Structures are given as structure tokens and as C-alpha cells.
């Protein structure tokens, strides 16, 4: 598909040159603007609203390496040896276009955790990177050390290629230091979702008779906790020895942190910034307690939910936290629903395991039908955001231009990732592709999970729900929250004070 697009692009260039020569009539003053020519690789848009030329200037990007994330470097520079060759080709076309028309080159350096190395470089006065891209938890929590510029007066955050959820959620004051959006792949590739076994669903007459097409159920806003639980109960059964465990079949394959993901699915964050600028801690609120009560019912039932931490070391492939074992259960057809991230789709398709079923994609369920929409939280450890280090002084203008260009001209890159890597290679059904659209358009950032206030106590804020699920005999949310509330509030207020007093 992308080869076709390249041919179309070249033909469009030739047609453009012919029309240019005819319309100019030899008059060099009739110069087309960038908004005209940009449509060659970004069809259907009103045009790139900026025009400049930086005469071959190089912008240095420090990003996550390929070993940590397959798209860490590839989203910025092509790699001819990459298995995701269509993405690499699209990146090359985009970069060549930006270099030819705007005189900007991209140079990438990578590390496992670039934001950690940047701290040391800035402290030593040796940081020469123009852009830093790393996981949201690493980036956001370092803002009060003045490592990153406010982006408000550098790029136009209202442009449609920037993710407004990241802009609005990842700050505790009225300035915005980090952004995600169309310039990145590593933000989309780390969102929590629900995979499901189509064979189990389609062959269960009770599910079919009561719920029908599960995609229609989602579109109608009826894929709720109650429905999820009832479906899970209908398909769960013991192994051939009558035991619940690794070889049994469950409606829900998850992990203790899946409880936080499901609470986020109700649009409830551990902490949220309010319209007046204050920060609200939610675990003790009536809404959060009601939501968690239902999540607890699902996650603590060991005849419905198998959790990764309970099967560590079981099966032929083992892992530290049980996630490999959990994936093995899904691959073996022993789970209807599988709580994981979007990056797992490609991992499953590249797995040596032979699947005798097709799997589909769904969002995280809603709390109830009255909920306004679905919410799918980001993986704070992997989902990336962009920042401009405060050592970037001389190159800020060129850096800003490049970021806007990457955001605008990455449609083909996103399509290569989305259509080819996910939709065509990994997903067989267009319904699943539509579900991915829904998931990516409902990204959810939880500032409480990102900051993890109360880290001096056990559990910390981010581990609160997981800790309660671990004690699956009794729902102890209220008492555990009361035991850590003061420590969490103290840390939160200290962070807010740092925003007020430390930022220049």
C-alpha cells in the first residue's frame, strides 16, 4: 500500500511541477507557498500553516532506543533493516520532504532512559540535544527541576496534530511542558485495551443470544463492567482435573494493576487537576469507591479472573511478574478477555505460538451505560511524550518548526503503523480497526499514577488498588486509603509547591 502511495506522491510532484510552470508563466515572483505543496504528502488537509527554510540545520533528538521500544528511534529516522519496513519507508519520505522544503535534518541518539541521562548532561552543562522523548512518568516528574521549557510560547498547542489530553492532564499549573500526538508512534503503541478471543465468544450460544455482535455492543455504549463480568462468568471453567489455575479457562486474564486500569476506564483518576487549578485526590470519593467496588468484584473472583502475579513460574515460558505466563494462557485459548496494551497486538502476531483462533480488539469497559464515553489509560512506564530541554536556546525556533512539521507531515507514518502494522498484519477484521480508532481517540492520563505520591508508605498511591486486589478476601480500600492518605497529600502538596516556587 505504501509503495502505491509513493508512486502517487511522485506523480503528484510531476503534476505539481507542470502546473507550476504553466501558472507561473515564467514569472519567478509567482511562488507557491508551503500550504499548497504540503498536500502532496498530506492530502485532505488545509495545508501546513508555516513556511521557512533553515538551510540544512540539524535538530538533535534524544529518544528511547530500539531495544526498549521498536518504534523509539524508527518514528524519527528510517531504518532499512527494520522489520516494519513500511513505517521506515514512510519516515524516509517524510524526512526527505522536510529536508528538501524546509532545510531541516534530523539526527537521533538513543538510550534506554534518555531523560535520566539528560538530567546528568544538563547538570554538567553538556547537553546539546534539542528534543527529548521518553516515557511520561520519567518526563513529567522532572519538570520542577527546570529541565524543560514551557511549550506554550514555542509551538501552537491548539494545532490538531497535538493530543489535547496530554496537554491538559500533564501539568499542575497553567503552563504546558510536554506533549504527545501525531509526531509520535510510541504514545499510541502503549495504551491499555481489551483483547478478546473471537472463537470463545462466537461459539458460546448464551453470549450470542443475549449480546449479539460485541462490536455493536461497544458502539451502543453498553460494554460495561456488569456485562464484562457476566460474559466472563459464562465462559470460565476449571481444567480437566477440576482445578482453578494456569490450565483453567477464565473470562478475564489480567493482573493486579488491571484494577487501576479498570477504574481509569470509568474516567476516574487517582488524582486529577481541577478547573480552578487545584488537585483532587479521588480514592476516598463516593464515585471512586462505587467504581472500585465493582472492579473488586471482578478482579478478586478467582473463578472469573486469572491474575499474572498468581501464575508466576508456571508453564514453559516464565517471567518475573507473570506477564509472559498470562500471554501464554491467552495464546492457548484459555481466556475470553485479555487486559493488555496495544503493543501486545504485534507481539501476539509475531509470537512463535500457533493460535487456533482469531482475536479482536475492544476498549476498557465502561462503569455503566450512563458514562459519557470509553476511557483507555496510557502505560505510564512506556507511553512517550516530547519535551524541549532548557539548554536548547539557539535552536528553539528550528526545533519548534520541526515539531510542527513532524506533527503535520506524519499522516503517512501513522497510517503505515496503524494500517499495516496493526490493521493489516495483526488484525483481520475492519471492526477491530474501528475499535483501535476509538481507543486512540479516548486516551486517558492519570496524574496520580504518574507522580505516585506517597512512595514512602506501602502501598503508595499508584499501588493502592493493586494492594487491595492482592488481599482478595476482603475489600479494604477505605481503610488502606485512610492509612496512606496523609502521606499522599503531603507529597502532592510538596509537588504543587515545587511548581509554584521552583519553576522559572
What's the pLDDT at 60?
99
Identify the structural domains of the chain with CATH numbers, from first to last: 41-188+380-424 (3.40.190.10), 192-377+452-501 (3.40.190.10)
Instruction: Provide DSSP, 363-377.
Output: -PPBSSTTSSS--EE
Burial of 66: CB neighbours in 10 Å, binned 0-12, 13-18, 19+:
middle
Torsion sign over Cα 185, 189, 192, 194:
positive
**Distance in angstroms (rounded) separating the CA atoms of residues 443 and 136:** 13
**Coil, helix or strand at residue 215:** helix
Q: What residues in the chain have per-residue pLDDT under 50?
A: 1-45
H or E element: which one contains 399?
helix 396-408
pLDDT digits (tens, 9 = 90+) for 148-203: 999 999 999 999 999 999 998 999 999 999 999 999 999 988 999 999 999 999 99
Q: Which of 450, 170, 495, 448 is nearest to 285 (CA)?
A: 448
Cell of 283: 480514592
Contact between residue 19 and residue 72 where contact means Cβ atoms under 8 Å apart: no
DSSP 421: I
> Per residue in 420-459, pLDDT tens?
656 655 555 689 889 998 999 999 999 999 999 999 999 9
What is the pLDDT, as a whole number, of residue 36? 31
Model confidence, pTM: 0.87
Cell 475499535: give the residue.
Answer: 435
For position 429, what pLDDT does the model report?
66
Long-range contacts of 93-98 (CB under 8 A, 24+ apart): 93/6, 93/9, 93/41, 93/412, 94/41, 94/406, 94/409, 94/410, 94/412, 94/413, 97/40, 97/41, 97/409, 98/402, 98/405, 98/406, 98/409
pLDDT at 84: 63
Amino acid at each position: 500500500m505504501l509503495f502505491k502511495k509513493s508512486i502517487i506522491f511522485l506523480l503528484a510532484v510531476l503534476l505539481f511541477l507542470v502546473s507550476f510552470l504553466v501558472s507561473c508563466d515564467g514569472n519567478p515572483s509567482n511562488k507557491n507557498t508551503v500550504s499548497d505543496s504540503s498536500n502532496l504528502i498530506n492530502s485532505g488537509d488545509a495545508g501546513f500553516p508555516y513556511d521557512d527554510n533553515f538551510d540544512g540545520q540539524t535538530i538533535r533528538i534524544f529518544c528511547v532506543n530500539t531495544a526498549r521500544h521498536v518504534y523509539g528511534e524508527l518514528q524519527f529516522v528510517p531504518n532499512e533493516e527494520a522489520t516494519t519496513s513500511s513505517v521506515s519507508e514512510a519516515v524516509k519520505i517524510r524526512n526527505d520532504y522536510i529536508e528538501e522544503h524546509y532545510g531541516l535534518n534530523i539526527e537521533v541518539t538513543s538510550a534506554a532512559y534518555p531523560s535520566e541521562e539528560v538530567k546528568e548532561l544538563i547538570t554538567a552543562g553538556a547537553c546539546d540535544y534539542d528534543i527529548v522523548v521518553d516515557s511520561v512518568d520519567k518526563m513529567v516528574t522532572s519538570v520542577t527541576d527546570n529541565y524543560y521549557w514551557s511549550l506554550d510560547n514555542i509551538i501552537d498547542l491548539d494545532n490538531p496534530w497535538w493530543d489535547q489530553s496530554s496537554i491538559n492532564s500533564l501539568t499542575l499549573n497553567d503552563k504546558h511542558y510536554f506533549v504527545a500526538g501525531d509526531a509520535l508512534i510510541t504514545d499510541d503503541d502503549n495504551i491499555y485495551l481489551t483483547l478478546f478471543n473471537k472463537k470463545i465468544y462466537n461459539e458460546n450460544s448464551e453470549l450470542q443470544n443475549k449480546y449479539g455482535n460485541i462490536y455493536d455492543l461497544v458502539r451502543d455504549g453498553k460494554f460495561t463492567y456488569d456485562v464484562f463480568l457476566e460474559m466472563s462468568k459464562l465462559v470460565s471453567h476449571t481444567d480437566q482435573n477440576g482445578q482453578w489455575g494456569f490450565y483453567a479457562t477464565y473470562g478475564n486474564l489480567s493482573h493486579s494493576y488491571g484494577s487501576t486500569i479498570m477504574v481509569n476506564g470509568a474516567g476516574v483518576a487517582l488524582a486529577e487537576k481541577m478547573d480552578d487549578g487545584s488537585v483532587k485526590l479521588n480514592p476516598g470519593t463516593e464515585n471512586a469507591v462505587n467504581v472500585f467496588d465493582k472492579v473488586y468484584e471482578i478482579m478478586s473472583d478467582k473463578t472469573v479472573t486469572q491474575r499474572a502475579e498468581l501464575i508466576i513460574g508456571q508453564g514453559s515460558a516464565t517471567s518475573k511478574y507473570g506477564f509472559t505466563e498470562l500471554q501464554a494462557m491467552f495464546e492457548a485459548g484459555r481466556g475470553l478477555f485479555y487486559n493488555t496494551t496495544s503493543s501486545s497486538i504485534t507481539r501476539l502476531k509475531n509470537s512463535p505460538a500457533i493460535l487456533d483462533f482469531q482475536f479482536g480488539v475492544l476498549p476498557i469497559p465502561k462503569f455503566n451505560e450512563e458514562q459519557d464515553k470509553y476511557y483507555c489509560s496510557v502505560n505510564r512506564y512506556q507511553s512517550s511524550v516530547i519535551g524541549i530541554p532548557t539548554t536548547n536556546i539557539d535552536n528553539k525556533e528550528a526545533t519548534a518548526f520541526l515539531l510542527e512539521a513532524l506533527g503535520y507531515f506524519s499522516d503517512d507514518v501513522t497510517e503505515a503503523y496503524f494500517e499495516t502494522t496493526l490493521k493489516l498484519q495483526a488484525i483481520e477484521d475492519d471492526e477491530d480497526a474501528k475499535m483501535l480508532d476509538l481507543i486512540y481517540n479516548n486516551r486517558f492520563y492519570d496524574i496520580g499514577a504518574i507522580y505516585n505520591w506517597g512512595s514512602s508508605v506501602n502501598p503508595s498511591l499508584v499501588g493502592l488498588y493493586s494492594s487491595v486486589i492482592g488481599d482478595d478476601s476482603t475489600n479494604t480500600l477505605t481503610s488502606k486509603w485512610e492509612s496512606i492518605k496523609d502521606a499522599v497529600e503531603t507529597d502532592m502538596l510538596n509537588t504543587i509547591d515545587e511548581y509554584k516556587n521552583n519553576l522559572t
